[in-house]
């Protein structure tokens, strides 16, 4: 299986399966002399870790990351720093229960990757989905922690804004609420309502989808590139590469089709410091594939978890029709743990965008320009 690498100058290659001994990655292209400890990455992994509330899978994985290479103590400060060489990261899998999957070994879960992996490779790792399991996303989160250190002026955060049909009230948006509930929800009222909704879904053995919103503040104007390297196309591709993602929007997204040109215009003025100022951000911080200096805003939708207890019609690998129920431990709504994963993908895209911008342009031109 190819295509395990993501990024251009800041590159991530992941390896490992859900029920193998470990998962890991190699991060290539990280600049030298950046202070880096495993604890710096662990904070993000702890947000994604399973089994933290009744609303996520009960698989118990401590997800303790080890840094295997690419760092050493700085002779001056004694602090552990990156050396500019490839950084190897490893997380042991400790709570595999392959026997949970015995019943579906030869059967295809509707909505999962079972049929397509078999159709393509003639073999599939049925134990927890193997490589198609979102276990792989732990390495994206760890690598995203390194990416954040490459762009320290950028603040990246994410929130769950919809579970099933239930949207937050955007008037209630409070970033400080995100860490106060098990959903990463910025609306305390919605979080209370979601609790009851998701309990019903979970107890009935069903599942539901969700929408996650991401924001990056502090990205200067100029990152990204036109045409095939558009920052928005790279971000959309990065988010779409996540398991269960079925929709991505940047800025106004699908709703921009409903706006007139006047409504959608992010009007420009000059601020008190003589810099460009926008009256709104329908563009989501990207124009012509290049960052505008406004917050970058993206949303992505995840589908309902396909592993459900309710019997569904399916087929097996020997050409028979079957009825399938998926036991084992699953997230009733994968959107919750997708929040830190989405943040990591945004960090990876932006770190790569920053290094490429620096590679081609060096220091950005000083704006406004002097008139000749
Ligand atoms: C954080 C996260 C956790 C997930 N957990 C599960 C799970 O417990 N059970 C499941 O069937 N799918 C889960 N998924 C989704 C599957 O990995 C995904 O649907 C499957 O690989 C098929 O790929 P596709 O949905 O991208 O087409 C999860 C996805 C994410 C992002």
Structure tokens at 103: 């019943």
Structure letter (DSSP) for residue 224: B
Q: Determine the distance separating the centroid of ligand 1 and the alpha carbon of 32, expressed in angstroms.
A: 35
Task: Give the Cα separation of 72 and 54 in Å (integer).
Answer: 40
Helix axes 231-240, 335-361, angle to 10 degrees: 150
- Nearest ligand 1 atom to the CA of 48 is 1
Q: Determine the distance separating the centroid of ligand 1 and the alpha carbon of 135, expressed in angstroms.
A: 9
How far lies 277's CA from each of 270, 272, 293, 295, in Å? Answer: 6, 9, 9, 12
Residues of the chain with pLDDT under 50: none
Contact yes or no for 276/290 (Cβ under 8 A): no
Q: C-alpha 248: how far from its chain's center?
A: 12
pLDDT the model gives residue 2:
86
Could you give phi then psi for residue 250, rounded to 5 degrees? -115, 135
**Burial of 2 per CB tally in 10 Å (0-12, 13-18, 19+):** exposed
pLDDT the model gives residue 139:
98
- Nearest ligand 1 atom to the CA of 109 is 11
Query: pLDDT tens, 324-365?
Result: 998 877 889 999 999 999 999 999 999 999 999 999 999 989
pLDDT the model gives residue 359:
97
Q: Determine the distance separating the centroid of ligand 1 and the alpha carbon of 295, expressed in angstroms.
A: 29
pLDDT the model gives residue 98:
66
Q: Determine the distance separating the centroid of ligand 1 and the alpha carbon of 242, expressed in angstroms.
A: 9
Is there a cis peptide before residue 368, judged by omega within 30 degrees of 0?
Answer: yes
Q: Whose CA is nearest to atom 13 of ligand 1?
A: 305
pLDDT the model gives residue 1:
62
| Report field, pTM of the whole predicted structure over 0.85 | yes
Contact yes or no for 81/290 (Cβ under 8 A): no
pLDDT the model gives residue 5:
97
Q: Determine the distance separating the centroid of ligand 1 and the alpha carbon of 367, expressed in angstroms.
A: 45
Q: Whose CA is nearest to atom 19 of ligand 1?
A: 244
Q: C-alpha 28: how far from its chain's center?
A: 19
Task: Give the Cα separation of 284 and 294 in Å (integer).
Answer: 8
Q: Determine the distance separating the centroid of ligand 1 and the alpha carbon of 234, expressed in angstroms.
A: 21
Pocket test for ligand 1, best of 60, 331, 337, 343 (most atoms within 8 A of CB): 331
**Ligand 1 binding site (Cβ under 6 Å of any ligand atom):** 57, 112-113, 129, 132-134, 137, 242-244, 305-307, 330-331, 334, 337-338, 341
Task: Give the Cα separation of 149 and 142 in Å (integer).
Answer: 12
């Amino acid at each position: 299986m190819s295509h395990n690498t993501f990024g251009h100058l800041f590159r991530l290659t992941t390896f490992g399966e859900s029920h193998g001994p470990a998962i890991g990655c190699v991060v290539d292209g990280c600049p030298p002399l950046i202070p880096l400890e495993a604890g710096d990455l662990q904070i993000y992994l702890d947000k994604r870790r399973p089994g933290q509330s009744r609303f996520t899978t009960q698989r118990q994985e401590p997800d303790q990351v080890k840094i295997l290479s690419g760092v050493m103590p700085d002779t001056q400060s004694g602090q552990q720093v990156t050396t500019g060489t490839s950084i190897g990261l490893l997380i042991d899998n400790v709570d595999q229960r392959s026997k949970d999957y015995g019943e579906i070994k030869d059967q295809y879960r509707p909505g999962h990757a079972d049929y397509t992996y078999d159709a393509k490779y003639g073999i599939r790792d049925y134990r927890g989905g193997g490589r198609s399991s979102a276990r792989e996303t732990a390495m994206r989160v760890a690598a995203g922690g390194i990416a954040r250190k490459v762009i320290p002026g950028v603040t990246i955060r994410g929130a769950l804004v919809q579970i099933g049909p239930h949207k937050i009230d955007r008037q209630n948006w409070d970033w400080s609420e995100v860490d106060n509930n098990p959903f990463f929800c910025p609306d305390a009222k919605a979080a209370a309502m979601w609790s009851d909704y998701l309990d019903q879904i979970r107890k009935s053995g069903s599942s539901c989808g969700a929408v996650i919103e991401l924001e990056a503040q502090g990205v200067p104007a100029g990152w990204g590139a036109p045409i095939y390297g558009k920052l928005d196309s790279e971000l959309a591709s990065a988010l779409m590469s996540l398991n269960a993602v079925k929709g991505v929007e940047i800025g106004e997204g699908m709703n921009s089709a409903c706006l007139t040109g006047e409504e959608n215009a992010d009007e420009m003025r000059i601020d008190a410091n003589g810099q460009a100022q926008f009256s709104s951000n329908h563009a989501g911080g990207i124009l012509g594939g290049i960052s505008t200096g406004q917050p970058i805003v993206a949303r992505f939708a995840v589908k309902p978890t396909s592993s459900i207890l309710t019997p569904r019609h399916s087929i097996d690998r020997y050409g028979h029709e079957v009825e399938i129920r998926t036991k084992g431990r699953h997230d009733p709504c994968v959107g919750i743990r997708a929040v830190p994963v989405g943040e990591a993908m945004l960090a990876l895209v932006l770190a790569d965008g920053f290094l490429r911008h620096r590679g081609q342009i060096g220091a950005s031109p000083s704006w406004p320009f002097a008139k000749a």
